Structure 1
Amino acid sequence: MRRYALIAEPDPQRAAGLLSLVTEEGLEGVVTKDGVEATEVVRQRGAPLLLVTDLALPRLDGFTLLTWLREQEDAAGTQVVVVTAFDELRVRAWQLKEPLGIHALLSRRASSELMRDMLRRVLSGQLAPQPAAPESTSEQERQRLASIAAMRLVDDGPPEAELQQLVTEVAQAFGVPVALLTLVLGERQWFKAHVGLPSSLAKDRGTPRDWAFCHHVVQGREPLVVPDARRHPFFRDNPLVRDGIVGSYAGAPLLTSTGEVLGSLCVIDTRPLVLGAEDLAALRELASRVAEDLEQRARAKQAAVKAQVEPALTEASALALLREAVQALDVAALLVAPGRKPFASNAALTDLLGLPADAFPAMTFDAFCQHVAGLTADPAGTLRQLDLASESSRGLRMSLVLERPQARRLRWVARPFPVPGGVAQMLTLSDMGHTRPAREERERQYRMDGLTGLDSRRAGEERVLREIGRCRRDGVPFSVLLADLVGLGRINATRGFDAGDAALRDGARVAEALAVPRGFAVRWEGGAFLLGLPGVDAEQAESMRRKLHDTPGAPEVVSAAVTIEGEEDPQGTLARAQAALARAKTEQRSHRME
């Protein structure tokens, strides 16, 4: 057995911590972001000496990963440590510890010292104790429910249009039919906004809490992903799964600035969900922004109610009351009085923009906008956008990238609200991190082929699987076209790699022009390109394949096209396409030899 430790953990920071611990024990650590990556490592390197895995993994969950591992001939000696935030999943895993070959289970809230001790015990062959019972959280739950009540988030009115638009965009972005903004109450979950639900659930705007996947997000305080609920040993008996409403789920917590989890922003499909670790991170970040927005709405609502119940309150006294709230916020904030007059700011804003605190009351709002625009690469264009934030607007949301005083990305939210004497605005600038652009650039490079500008194979494969799911729901065909440049190795050897790179770029341009607007092109591997073709049947795909060969000036390629058949596994479709391409290459070589 290979002396290495395999870590299956989608969170980069936690993965780094686990990597440090296994390295201390003299093991080589290999980190994977999801269950599929973990199986690929085992296929390439053999079974590990130690596997440390979460149960809520993207693409292939931890239960399925362990079941697969125990089917491998060389995995009998693999020691398995499960680390998860979700108490009920941990209990179910302990019940299945014998068939899954689990040696220890830990909460994600366990200290690094406890984790180190458990790893050493497992590696030395000692039996780990039964996991401790979930901590009592009755006081935390009471505070959480009190926060929901104080924020007045639950009402009898229809869902707010702005939040409905948000969940609609989330469903479209993740390629799923259902997206929800849920609040988890004492005995039920309540849908504050929803899209794609069956009419019965949409009418009730909720389910019993026992049915709620989002309940586990609240309990675990972490994102939860269930790639295939129908095969999941815990969720498969859920009434929503049995009724075919939930086939897969991914949700991220709505975490307030005071640490309470209100509920979840989640996406649901009736089929298995193909979301990577990057998608889960994006959902988590979006959920944090939504939670921040809900808090701001609650503060504005509370201020408006207070103004109504205190008829003697003047504009000045109302703004004075709000000044304290603004100065207590951790997020950069500016209170703008009626007439577009900056009234109060906080330390976070002065630090963010490099302005002294006493500069704000003397500035006009236009001067403030000019200052912010001047910190960007396009001051004139940015200023035109910021000018939309007039007191008569319904609010403005946008992203800004500052170049000074530090390179960072901001989320600008301007929200008007009534005060005695007119309409004020609460402006917040959420710092999305000065290190974020560098991370985004690394992620962009990882998901985009630097030579051709097309999607990388990893990003392309995820997109193919997602589009296949979408086409199945819509009842339309999906085809895959693979094309491989002929003689790329010969070009590199005889004319140099610059010529080979030029041929690849030419091939990419031809492939992309053929695929767009109906589909998309991917740099698959080596000199091969994949065209994903939603809505294209077998006859149309063959026509497009011939067109690829007939395009004037296009590099010579060998190609193959396949169309997904019935309920065929998407990975099977890709395998069929690659086998068809291999046959086409063999036939071409045979023709050349004749």
Structure 2
Amino acid sequence: MAAEDDADIAELLAVVLRGAGYTVYTASDGEQAMLLIQQHLPDLVILDHHMPGRSGLEIAQALRADPRTADLPLLMISTAAPGEATVVFDDVLAKPLLPRVLKAHVESLLTAARPGAPEFASPLLDRRRLGALARYDWDHPQLRRSVDAITKRTAQRLGLPISMANLILDTTQLTVGSHGVTGWIAEAQGTPVEWSFCARMVDTAEPYLVPDATTDPAQQHNPLVQIDGFISYAGVPLVDRDGQVLGAHCVLGTSAQTFTDVDLTELRAAADEIMAVLERYRLP
């Protein structure tokens, strides 16, 4: 359920969420919002703060006080959220809002609220991490050109054919810069997250080395190894200024490789440069 008194924003919320497969009820004021919530007991409530009748904060406080709705995931979207909102709401986002930011936060809130699930079923689904990822304009052509140049230099200095900068979403590894990548991975600009070497670092926040994937228990059955022929891998995490692991900078080889401390130092330095590029394209 989404309550928003601006008709254009309300329509945008409905279109984006219905397009993602959700059933959406919309309200244009606080009283209508409360009525819809009581009628439908939705899985998630999205509230603007400044609305006719009752504010978003007042509605949230009433919902928290009612045993039937006390545990409902609550998301505030507002240009001027009150300080108390961070206590009452599960998540607070500022307008204007990109559709991908909205979808990432909604999915994360719903995942965390499913019965029997921990607060975050996996670090991949941590709403703070997904929200951080969504704040970058990773499709910007100049961002990609800059990251391509860094990955090319890394590949050359480590003497390996492939280098990538990948962002790890909840279901997808998204490549935002690369050198030497061809075939379907280049066309798709990424891989399923289940196949991703880089995804491991979202859990550990530590460098990940695979000298020979054909003998590595965790990777030897990976389709990227068995079908695409990637044999060696070295990666370091891409970490934002708030400590969120957004993805990784890595190199890959088609034969076994011994990685050195010098290699890791090169990767870390390049990862810092990549994060500096990303920060230049951080959305307001």
How does the TM-score come out when normalised to structure 2?
A: 0.54
CA distance in 1, matches of 2:238, 2:227: 27
Residue in 1 aligned with 2:174? 190
Cα distance in structure 2, aligned partners of 1:159 and 1:199: 22
Aligned to 2:195: 211
1:142 is aligned to 127
Would the aligned equivalents of 1:244 and 1:270 in 2 still touch at CA under 8 Å?
A: no
Q: Could you tell me which residue of structure 1 aligns to residue 281 of structure 2?
A: 297
**Aligned-partner Cα distance in 2 for 1:251–1:284:** 9
Assess, with a 3 A threshold, how the Cα gap between structure 1 residues 256 and 269 changes in structure 2: closer, same or farther. same
Q: How far does residue 162 in structure 1 lie from its aligned partner after superposition?
A: 1.7
- Say if 2:165 and 2:249, in contact at 8 Å, map to a contact too: yes
C-alpha displacement of 1:258: 0.3
Distance 2:179 2:161 in 1: 8
Task: Indicate the structure (1 or 2) with the bigger Cα radius of gyration.
Answer: 1
Cα distance change of structure 1 residues 291 and 138 upon mapping to structure 2, 3 Å threshold: farther
| Native 8 Å contact 1:256 1:292 kept in 2 | no
| Counterpart residue number, 1:252 | 236
Equivalences for 1:1-12 in 2 at 5 Å? none
Could you tell me how far apart the structure 2 residues matched to 1:289 and 1:296 are? 11
Q: Amino acid of the residue matched to residue 272 of structure 1?
A: A
Q: 1:243, CA displacement in angstroms?
A: 1.2
Partner secondary structure for residue 190 of structure 1: strand
Q: Pairwise mapping of residues 511-590 of structure 1 onto structure 2 (< 5 A)?
A: none
Equivalent residue, structure 2, for 1:227? 211
Quote the Cα distance in structure 2 between the aligned partners of 1:183 and 1:296. 16
Equivalents in 1 of 2:142, 2:188: separation in Å? 12
The aligned runs of 1:102-113 (5 Å cut-off) are none
CA deviation map 1:402-422 (0-9, x unaligned): xxxxxxxxxxxxxxxxxxxxx
What is the alpha-carbon distance in structure 2 between the residues aligned to residue 194 and residue 276 of structure 1? Answer: 22
Task: Tell me the SS of whatever aligns to 2:181.
Answer: coil
* Contact 2:151/2:178 (<8 A) preserved: yes
SS in structure 1 at match of 2:199 = helix
Which amino acid in 2 is paired with 1:176? L
Unaligned runs of 5+ residues in structure 2 are: 1-117
Structure 1: runs of 5+ lacking an equivalent: 1-134, 303-594
1:222 is paired with a residue whose SS is: coil
8 Å Cα contact 1:184/1:215 also seen in 2: yes
Deviation at 1:289, TM superposition (A): 3.1
Which letter does structure 2 place at the counterpart of 1:208?
Answer: P
Output aligned runs, 1:431-510, within 5 Å.
Answer: none
1:279 to 260, 263, 272: 263
CA distance in structure 1 between the partners assigned to 2:232 and 2:170 by the alignment: 24
* CA distance in structure 2 between the aligned counterparts of 1:139 and 1:191, rounded to whole angstroms: 21
Letter in 2 for 1:258: D
Aligned-pair distance for 1:157?
Answer: 5.7
**CA offsets per residue over residues 280-323 of structure 1, 9 Å max, x none?**
1331232133213312331xx53xxxxxxxxxxxxxxxxxxxxx
Structure 1: distance between partners of 2:122 and 2:197: 22
Local SS of the residue matching 1:200: helix
Q: SS of 1:214's equivalent?
A: coil
Alpha-carbon distance change, 231 to 158 in structure 1, aligned in 2, over 3 angstroms: farther
State yes or no: 1:177 paired with 2:138: no
Verify the 8 A CA contact 2:154 2:270 in the aligned structure 1: no
What is the SS of the residue equivalent to 1:250? strand
The 3 A distance-change label for structure 1 pair 157 and 203 is farther
Q: Does 1:151 align with 2:136?
A: yes
Does structure 1 retain, via aligned residues, the 8 Å contact 2:147–2:277? no
Deviations 1:223-247 (A, max 9, x none): 1010000111110000000014310
Q: Point out 4+ residue stretches in structure 1 off by more than 4 angstroms.
A: 135-140, 156-159
Alignment of 1:337-352 (within 5 A): none
Aligned letter for 1:146? G
Deviations 1:81-113 (A, max 9, x none): xxxxxxxxxxxxxxxxxxxxxxxxxxxxxxxxx
Whole-Å Cα distance in 2 between the matches of residues 248 and 201 of structure 1? 17
Q: Structure 1 residues 160 and 244, CA, compared in 2 at 3 Å: closer, same or farther?
A: closer
Contact 1:179 1:268 in 2 (8 A): yes
Shift of 1:159: 6.8
**Length-normalised TM-score, structure 1:** 0.27
> Which residue does the alignment assign to 2:146?
162
- The two structures, once aligned, show a CA RMSD in angstroms of 2.2
- In structure 2, the residue corresponding to 1:179 is in which secondary structure? strand
Residue 419 of structure 1 is matched in structure 2 by none
Q: Which has the higher contact order (CA 8 A, sep 6+)?
A: 2
The amino acid across from 1:180 in the alignment is M
CA offset digits 1:202-255 (Å, max 9, x no partner): 011011000000100122111101000011111000000001431010010001
Contact 2:171 2:192 in 1 (8 A): yes
How far, CA to CA, are the matches of 2:208 and 2:160 in structure 1? 16
Matched, 1:236 2:213: no
Cα distance in 2 for partners of 1:231, 1:257 equals 36
Q: Secondary structure at the match of 1:213?
A: coil
Secondary structure of 1:241's aligned partner:
helix
Deviations 1:25-82 (A, max 9, x none): xxxxxxxxxxxxxxxxxxxxxxxxxxxxxxxxxxxxxxxxxxxxxxxxxxxxxxxxxx
Aligned to 2:254: 270
Give the distance between the partners of 2:219 and 2:181, measured in 1 at CA.
19
Distance 1:178 1:264, change over 3 A: same
Listed one character per residue, the Cα deviations across residues 137-181 of structure 1 (whole Å, up to 9, x for unaligned) are: 45862111101112232x386972222111111110110000001
Separation (CA, whole Å) in 2 of partners of 1:219 and 1:208:
17
The whole-number CA distance in structure 2 between the counterparts of 1:164 and 1:285 is 15
